[in-house]
Amino acid sequence: MNGRHAAPTPDPGHGTDDGSDPGKAPEDHAGFVAVSVRLTGFDEFDLRATGLVRLYHDTTLDQVGRPAVGRFLADLDAAGGDPDRITDETSRDIARAITHLWYLGVWPQLARSTHAALRRERANTAFVVSPEAYTEGLVWRTFHGHPPGAKPPGHGTWAAAPPGAPVRPVARRTEGAA
């Protein structure tokens, strides 16, 4: 995950932090970010802009342990970097959990079988990892929304057509009205 801990990454060119460009500081947790890009469908810029890379990286390690993360990364590597082709159910459940975390800020309950396979000694409960994790959830951005209670778009903005919708409502029942 963190480059220093050197698990295989699905996309070494993108995911190392060896600082090969002398003009550029090494990126933190480059491997975790590269994996997260694959899992979420959001690019590195979006993910880093949340400010939560480190917290999510640490939460994942904390929740499932380094060996399981290592196996997950190896499985993802073996799947050609495509999470959809991971066949190991434990690794797949870790992929679900990390994605859930990014989209909602919530570490989810793992499948009971995963929980048992990992011999976790903590309770298998869902939790919001921090207040900011909620407000930075990616799910809101999938439809140009914002998290309720944060990032308000301004008075009356709810009256405007969302992106992709006709500015004036389109008739369904009758034609040519208004």
Q: Which residues bind other proteins (CB under 8 A)?
A: 38-42, 83-84, 89, 92-93, 95-96, 99-100, 103-104, 106, 108-112, 115, 124, 126-128, 130-132, 134-135, 138-140, 142-146, 148-150, 152-166, 169-173, 177-178
Query: Nearer to other proteins by C-beta: 78 or 128?
Result: 128
CB of 108 to other proteins, least distance (A): 6
Distance of alpha carbon 38 from alpha carbon 42, whole angstroms: 8
Q: Residue 134: name the closest of 35, 56, 62 by CA.
A: 56
Instruction: Say if residue 134 is exposed, middle or buried (CB neighbours under 10 Å; 0-12, 13-18, 19+).
Output: middle
Ramachandran category for residue 128: left, alpha or beta (phi over 0 → left; psi -120 to 50 → alpha): beta
Query: Nearer to other proteins by C-beta: 2 or 134?
Result: 134
CB of 134 to other proteins, least distance (A): 4
Query: Nearer to other proteins by C-beta: 28 or 127?
Result: 127
Residue 3 vs residues 6, 12, 18, 141: alpha-carbon distances, Å: 5, 10, 8, 29
Residue with tokens 């919708």: 165
- Give the H or E element holding residue 54: helix 53-64
CB of 162 to other proteins, least distance (A): 4
Query: Nearer to other proteins by C-beta: 25 or 178?
Result: 178
Query: Nearer to other proteins by C-beta: 26 or 51?
Result: 51
> Would you report the helix, strand and coil content of the chain in percent, each value rounded to 5?
50, 0, 50
CB of 37 to other proteins, least distance (A): 8
CB of 90 to other proteins, least distance (A): 11
